[in-house]
Amino acid sequence: MFTVPKPYPKEFRDDVVNVARNRQPGQHLKQIAADFGISESCLTNWMKAADVEDGVKPGTTAAENADLREPPGAGPRSPARAGFSVLACTSSLSNRKLNDLTDELTSTGLLPDL
């Protein structure tokens, strides 16, 4: 069975990126990556992500990506999230009952009007 490795701690990634950014002329990323026990492609990806996070290069930051994954107005305990949870649990309801429930949640503001 395949298992996904745990991500490296943020502090470790930040330290490795700082070492790579401040490397001496002639020092290769491949050697820095090997010194820290990671692949060169991993280090390259971390450096690209750090450039976006620091505003050096254009792109979507981790915080922006997290915002894009959330439904509109859905915090951890928001009414919108509760509405989505209720709908997710209604797979055994008939279409008519599901439509009635959706209309009621929308009219009370618990579910955004799509």
CB 56 within 8 A of CB 26: no
- The C-alpha atoms of residue 87 and residue 110 are separated, in whole angstroms, by 11
- The residue with greater pLDDT, 24 or 70, is 24
Confidence of residue 6 (pLDDT cuts 50, 70, 90): confident
pLDDT of residue 92: 55
Max mean pLDDT range (34-38, 76-80, 92-96, 109-113): 34-38
Domains of the chain: 10-67 (1.10.10), 72-107 (no CATH)
* Global pTM value: 0.58
Confidence of residue 4 (pLDDT cuts 50, 70, 90): confident
Tens digit of pLDDT for each residue in 8-43?
999 999 999 999 999 999 999 999 999 999 999 999
pLDDT of residue 93: 54
Q: How would you class 111 by CB atoms within 10 Å of its CB: exposed for 0-12, middle for 13-18, buried for 19 or more?
A: buried
What is the sign, positive or negative, of the torsion defined by CA atoms of 9, 13, 16, 19?
Answer: negative
CB 83 within 8 A of CB 72: no
CB 74 within 8 A of CB 80: yes
